[in-house]
Amino acid sequence: MLETIIEARGLEKFYGEPGENVIQVIAPTDISVCAGEILAVLGPSGSGKSTLLRMLTGLSKPSAGEVLWHGKPVAVQAPNVSIVFQSFALFPWLTVLENVEAPLKARGVAEIPRRKRSLKILETVGLDGFEAAYPKELSGGMKQRVGFARALVVEPEVLFMDEPFSALDVLTAENLRTETLELWANKSIPTRAIYLVTHNIEEAVLLADRIIVLGKNPGRIRTDFQVGLPQPRDRKSAGFLQRVDYIYKVLTQPDAAPQLAPETEIAASAGAGPRGAPRVKYPMLPHARPGGISGMLEILTDRGGHDDIYHLADDLSFEIDDVLPIVEASAMLGLVRVSEGDVELTPAGHHYVDADIAERKELFGKAAMERVTLIRQIKRALESKSNHTLPDEFFHDTLDEHFSEEETIQQLETAINWGRYAGLFDYDSGSRKFYISDEEPETVTA
């Protein structure tokens, strides 16, 4: 193995004080970045991939564990890193040249060498002639080139990229990926390692020497493997497809689909949480809309009732962040079965597809009441109140113990969506109250 640049041991991130209700974002994780490799970190949303990146770069402090750069803690040195951001994070009020010069200015590089280095790097990324332009005059791809130039001008030892291509259109992204790879292969950039965060499986297999797949709730490493394919890679080759398929399998394997039997799952996973933070896992609602679920089930029916998730996503040109929640939600409701990266309609799923709109709502409601803890809790709580009305804070507080603030809000939003579709309960966003629909709350405006 080559020289290790970054070594993280027992890296953890959680909110809240230990001993109380700890919300674990990232379970204890060991991770290393070696010289000469492109490491892709892949994971669904909520797996903490951005948090991990921020801890490794020293932007954010880990709750436990340590990050070592060449054996020294990141906190006592300023490692030479750069980040290419998803949103580009360019300063709109500075010209392209000024944007690229800014990091050098921060390091006290005098005007003349600073300008020389910046112009050279702009030429390298293909931006010569754009020095005086402002970022808003550029297209998305050009903006990200500025982002690259700004990152590379300080000659970082490790170049971190946080979903650098996901804000770009398909063609531009592909073009930039190829060019990045070229710069790296030709050694036109002095960077010794690249750390790429992505949620695009093909992108990871296309670019990376090594891939880490993260799981969520809490974020942890599911698999860490060498890609072992020669560059340039062919998307249609058997080796490529085999690796893509493998990642899909990892992402959809049993522990990512505990929704099949929520009750037993709670019992099974109690106490089996990450070390140091024993807690009961609350089943998490995947953020899928009922319409999306119906749509996927219909497509599955058209394909004979089962398909490979990868094909499904590819044909819909969905990324895993889009398709996984739909698959998980369908599995949670017992409408599909997931195994080894394949989805298959269950009898209940067939029944659902054949039903008309009103029946579908009813089936959905029944399945949700039987299998989805949060939906059931909301419905029962509302039923037990004489006026069938409860403020959202009530549920907010329950969820708070299990999820981050942001996730809690999303959980409730999804629950509202499902509850409304199934006609189980409704929500008034003005008074922020849940209620059961046949009894309108007093404050209903036209």
List residues near another protein by CB under 8 A. Answer: 54, 57-59, 61, 74-78, 81-83, 85-87, 89, 91-94, 97, 102-103, 105-108, 110-111, 119, 129, 131-132, 134, 136-137, 140, 143, 150, 154, 429-430, 446
Q: Residue 245 or residue 407: which is nearer to another protein going by CB?
A: 407
DSSP at 219: B
Q: How far is the CB of 126 from another protein (least distance, A)?
A: 15
Element (H, E) at 329: helix 320-332
Q: How far is the CB of 75 from another protein (least distance, A)?
A: 5
Q: Residue 134 or residue 318: which is nearer to another protein going by CB?
A: 134
Q: How far is the CB of 304 from another protein (least distance, A)?
A: 40
- Strands across the sheet with 72-73, in order? 23-34, 4-15, 64-69, 72-73
Q: How far is the CB of 90 from another protein (least distance, A)?
A: 8
Q: How far is the CB of 231 from another protein (least distance, A)?
A: 28
Q: Residue 104 or residue 296: which is nearer to another protein going by CB?
A: 104
* Alpha-carbon distances, residue 47 vs 11, 23, 205, 216, 255 (angstroms): 14, 13, 19, 4, 14
* Whether residue 103 has a cis bond before it, omega within 30° of 0: no
Strand 433-435 and strand 389-391: the pairing is antiparallel
Q: Residue 272 or residue 446: which is nearer to another protein going by CB?
A: 446
DSSP at 6: E
Place of tokens 């009922």: 290
Are 375 and 368 a contacting pair, CB within 8 Å?
yes
Q: Residue 156 or residue 286: which is nearer to another protein going by CB?
A: 156
Q: How far is the CB of 435 from another protein (least distance, A)?
A: 16
Residues 6+ apart with CB under 8 A from 332: 257, 259, 260, 262, 283, 285, 286, 371, 372
Q: Residue 29 or residue 86: which is nearer to another protein going by CB?
A: 86
